[in-house]
Amino acid sequence: MPQLVTVRVQNRSGRPIRIWVPVLPVVLVFLPVLVLAVLAATVACRVHRVSVARALGAGWHTVSALPGTRVDIEQGRTAVLVTVR
């Protein structure tokens, strides 16, 4: 599971803004919403006749594969870098 998300925004002034977001506290804050999302996904899997265990397993594998991901976005003079550790 990812531990830290780093967001760096470089704006027109050239001075970067860095934000470090620890994942665990954010997950704990949004846990009620996460539980509702899992219930909604379970209902959607039942409606579309998809194995719930396989769908949740695929979601967990996707989240587990996130560490090491790096996303760079550049538009004009603004650049955003998101790194998942």
Cα–Cα dist 68/26, whole Å: 19
Which of 11-34 are b and which e, b meaning 16 or more Cβ less than 10 Å from the residue's Cβ? eeeeeeeeeeeebeeeeeeeeeee
> Can you give the pLDDT at residue 40?
96
Q: Considering Cα of 50, then 56, then 58, then 29, what sign does the dihedral take? A: positive
Tell me what the mean pLDDT of segment 8-27 comes to: 90
Tell me what the mean pLDDT of segment 11-20 comes to: 86
Write out the H or E segment, with its range, that includes residue 17.
strand 16-22
Render pLDDT for 20-77 as a digit per residue (tens, 0 to 9): 999 999 999 999 999 999 999 999 999 999 999 999 999 999 999 999 999 999 998 8
pTM above 0.85, yes or no: no
Residues in Cβ contact with 27 at an 8 Å cutoff, skipping those fewer than 6 apart: 34
> Can you give the pLDDT at residue 85?
93
